A and B are shown apart, each in its own frame.
Chain A
Amino acid sequence: MAGEIQSGMQCVEVEALLAEILDGSLHGATLTSFEAHQHSCAACRTMVEEAKAGMHWLKALDEAEPPRNLVHNILAQTIGALPSEHVPVKPRGEGWLERLKGRLAPMFAPIATPRFAMSFGMAFFSITMLLGIAGFHFADIRNWDLSSKGIRHTYYDTQARVMRYYENMRWVYQIESRVRDLRRAGTPDRSAQPQPQQQQPQQQEAPAPNPKNPSKSENRQPNRQRPNYSRDNGGPMLATFPAAMLAAIPQARQKGSQRTPSLSRLGSQNRRTA
């Protein structure tokens, strides 16, 4: 029993000395009196045996093996570096290009992936295709004039090209001609009557084309004016009307709209007479 005096040592003393007993650090008279007490006290004997068994269970446990990446993770979280044993040893005597590559490689590591390379390739292909469709050729770069005069010339040339392209678009001049028709319809008398009188002298002054022996300048003249005719949508045809026919138009309108020749019909008659 605890506290009972047996063989010169109390149970409380055994309990206090239990650590030393199990460590084997008891010597001399203390060890002798402990052994005598243990022999006569079953409770202390059991206690010592249990503690001894527990100690043996624990000491026999193997050391747990840490994960392989533990050191790597610790260093990455503290100093943000790899262990030195994992750092590849660079061969001696390498040039500056290799050293530069070695330094740049970690910087570009996040984008040096197949996925990024594929996206970059697709973007490059698309841009090249669009430039090709737009008429841009990389071979023309060497012919570029990068002087201030050349740049200014290129600017105005490009502007003029854009303007020409815009004005020659079908829907643009269709809208323009429609707007012009609407304006003319709003003011019929002023636009119909004085116009032939103003334009007739011009027509008379213009030299008549010689079908037998046409010169170069004569051949070019109608070609250059052709877009203007189409844009004016009937204007120039009115310029060729004879004055007598134009004077008859208001009278015909008064008689009746069914028998009145339309402007387009008059234009075709005029073309036949010319």
Chain B
Amino acid sequence: MDDTQAVNALVRRCVSGDAAAWQEIVQQYHRRIYNICYRFSGSADDASDLAQEVFIKMYRTLSTYDTTRASFMTWVTTVTRNLLVDHFRKGKYDRVTDSLDATPGDQEDGLTLADRLEDKGASPEARVRSQETQKLVHEALKRLSPELREAVILRDLQDLDYKDIAKVLNVPEGTVKSRINRGRTELARLLQRNYKQAN
């Protein structure tokens, strides 16, 4: 039995009222859903609340999942993304438009974002390893528009392929690729703009 069949059997058991099956689904997918919520909302508290809402919605609508249309992972991601978009439309998670020159509120050392990103010749991977730099990239991700943000999150953080992302976002595959490219480029520009200006 491959993974897809095993997951489908798990879903069938859960729909028939098996609490242990639902518990297994929660254990298997909570980390992934939490991370999508966290990167999209930018807040750990909001992500926890949103992840709980996603699972409540999944629990109520699990019987509507059609195994012939998409994989369970795609369905779960679609439910998550739709709920996040609903919350975004309510205005809860608006796009952050702070300048890179601004000092982050929780950092009181007077350094700008460009100062923090300034590094002496290290590769992006090496720089992002540090905890502080991770925060800066996370903050920059919050500044992307929701369309670009969700596309890069699903591709670069969740490793979904373009076809699945197109199903989740309900847009053509070409649009998905375009959004991913624009999202990556805008993020890099956000992070490096002031650094280049400083040089």
Contact = CB atoms under 8 A, between A and B. Distances in A.
A84 interface: yes
A53 B138 CA distance: 15
A60 B128 contact: yes
Of the listed residues B128, B157, B188, the one surrounded by the most CB atoms of chain A closer than 10 A to its CB is B188
A58 B51 contact: no
Interface string B187-199: 1110110000000
B35 A51 contact: no
Interface stretch (A31-39, A70-78, A98-106): A70-78
A58 B134 CA distance: 9
Interface string B162-184: 10000000000010010011011
Given A53-B124, A61-B134, A70 B34 contact: yes
Interface of B: 19-20, 22-23, 26-27, 30-31, 34-35, 38-39, 44, 47-48, 51-52, 55-56, 59, 123-125, 128-129, 134, 137-138, 140-141, 152, 156-157, 162, 174, 177, 180-181, 183-189, 191-192
A66 B22 contact: no
B48 A18 contact: no
B118 to A, nearest CB: 15
16 contacts: A18-B181, A19-B181, A51-B181, A53-B184, A55-B156, A56-B124, A56-B128, A57-B188, A61-B134, A62-B134, A64-B38, A64-B47, A66-B34, A70-B51, A74-B56, A79-B22
Interface in A73-101: 73-75, 77-79, 81, 83-84
A56 B157 CA distance: 11
Contact of B180 (A19, A47, A56, A66): A19
B181 A61 contact: no
A26 to B, nearest CB: 13
A114 interface: no
Nearest to B48: A67
Given A54-B187, A62-B134, 5 more contacts: A51-B185, A60-B125, A61-B134, A70-B34, A77-B56
A66 B184 contact: no
B52 A73 contact: yes
A74 B188 contact: no
B188 A51 contact: yes
Contacts of A74: 26, 30, 51-52, 55-56
Contacts of B20: 84
Given A19-B181, A57-B124, A70-B52, A64 B186 contact: no
Contacts of A57: 124, 128, 137, 140, 187-188, 191
Contact of B129 (A15, A19, A60, A64): A60
Contact of B31 (A22, A47, A66, A77): A66
Nearest to B55: A74
B30 A71 contact: yes
Nearest to A19: B177
B160 to A, nearest CB: 13
Ranked 4 nearest A-B pairs via Cβ = A54-B184, A60-B128, A54-B188, A58-B156
